[in-house]
Amino acid sequence: MSEAHFARADEAPPPLASPHWTPKFVEPLMFDQSAERERAARAGSIGFRGVSKVYAASAAPALAGIDLAIEPGEIFGVIGRSGAGKSTLLRLINRLETATEGQVLVGGEDVGALNEDRLVALRRRVGMIFQHFNLMSAKTVAENVALPLVVAKRPRAEIESRVREALALVGLTDKRDAYPARLSGGQKQRVGVARALVAGPDVLLCDEATSALDPESTQSILALLKDINRRLGLTIVLITHEMSVIREICDRVLVLDRGAIAEVGLVWRVFGEPRHEATRTLLRPLARGLPEDVADRLRPDPAPQGRSDAIVELTFSGEGEPDIGAIAAALGGAKPRILSAQLDRIGGHTQGRLLLAVRLASSPNLSGLAPSSKVLGYVAADD
């Protein structure tokens, strides 16, 4: 493996004081990254073929009939309620769990068929980070990061330089001799990331990696993961119960429900047009309902006397950007006002909802304003 996976060793580490630090692009050393990427591209693919996992004790299978292909270099998210089988699915990839049925393939290799030596070799190509970091409390930051190389019996000089690069990559150069107990949660997870990457893996498994972190640290760890993915081209598989994590960095998402695949696809599509009840349930906390004051006054028909506002909901999902001018024009002189807007851009696709109050006597013509639009009801105008 080349050293190019990491930042230049002599580069000054970013100031740790800044919580919003995002790793910046660091130019590779004088070597050709494309060959490296190509190799990683082959090695970073993951496949599940008819995989089931049954724990002897429980009657219901933890996973049943999982067929899945994870592309090299993508950030693949797995979401589901607790007990849905996320953790088992992740641990099948580096055989911390063994499949009861079916095959798990990493880089084309059947993980279940490996002998101990080959399994150890595979695990050195698959890094992993954990919700509770799992750092050795008796070892310094540098010793923790060095451990995968020490057990792989790498030469001391190589360990030294790789640890330095890995710590520079995650911005913890000045903490190398600290013990984990002295670090914040975000810093601990950075050590975890450095340790997972130090051996130059093709795949990074993230087990609820941000669930124990505060929002700021979560953001910076996600930014770090995204940067690593882009720069090193490694495949990232992450499991989480937080929708926001998926939306933030994943290319594709798999929704697991009671051990089975509920749906899988591009994040914007799955979130924009959830097809499975499990997905809708997961999305529900994110979707705010009608503002309370409006909901209280909402009625099915316009007020017979006086003037009413129609409450119009426009739902966007897919390519293109909502054209405010066109919407206003279509509603004529009706003076549309925005009551609430929840619009997001996921992977270049607009997704979300726009709630308008429109002063209209008759039903407005809404066709063509948005992929989906409807009048929710009417409220009496105040004036």
What's the min distance (Å) between Cβ of 258 and other proteins?
A: 24
What's the min distance (Å) between Cβ of 124 and other proteins?
A: 4
Q: What's the CA gap between 203 and 140, in Å, rounded?
A: 25
Q: Which is nearer to other proteins, 29 or 152 (CB)?
A: 152
Q: Which is nearer to other proteins, 97 or 309 (CB)?
A: 97
Helix (H, G, I), strand (E, B) or coil at 17: coil
In degrees and rounded to multiples of 5, residue 86 shows phi and psi of -55, -50
In what helix (H) or strand (E) does residue 373 lie, and over which residues does it extend?
strand 372-380
Q: Which is nearer to other proteins, 35 or 121 (CB)?
A: 121
What's the min distance (Å) between Cβ of 120 and other proteins?
A: 5
Kindly give the interhelix angle for 185-197 and 156-170, rounded to the nearest 10 degrees.
Answer: 140
Q: The tokens of 185 are what? A: 């949660």
Q: Which is nearer to other proteins, 99 or 327 (CB)?
A: 99
Q: How far is CA 185 from the centre of its chain?
A: 19
Q: Which is nearer to other proteins, 21 or 130 (CB)?
A: 130
Sign of torsion, CA 208 209 215 220? negative
Q: Are 285 and 270 a contacting pair, CB within 8 Å?
A: no
CA count, 13 A, side-chain hemisphere, 310: 19
Q: Kindly report the length of the chain.
A: 383
Q: Which is nearer to other proteins, 24 or 153 (CB)?
A: 153
Q: Which is nearer to other proteins, 167 or 360 (CB)?
A: 167
What's the min distance (Å) between Cβ of 88 and other proteins?
A: 13
CA count, 13 A, side-chain hemisphere, 64: 10
In degrees and rounded to multiples of 5, residue 236 shows phi and psi of -115, 125
Measured torsion, CA atoms of residues 228, 230, 231, 232, in degrees rounded to the nearest 10: 70
What's the min distance (Å) between Cβ of 141 and other proteins?
A: 11
What's the min distance (Å) between Cβ of 62 and other proteins?
A: 17
Helix (H, G, I), strand (E, B) or coil at 189: helix
What's the min distance (Å) between Cβ of 232 and other proteins?
A: 17
What's the min distance (Å) between Cβ of 151 and other proteins?
A: 5
Q: What's the CA gap between 275 and 279, in Å, rounded?
A: 7
Q: Which is nearer to other proteins, 199 or 239 (CB)?
A: 199
Site of interaction with other proteins (CB under 8 A): 94, 96, 116, 120-124, 126-128, 130, 132, 134-139, 147-148, 150-152, 179, 181, 195-196, 199, 205
Q: What's the CA gap between 193 and 266, in Å, rounded?
A: 25
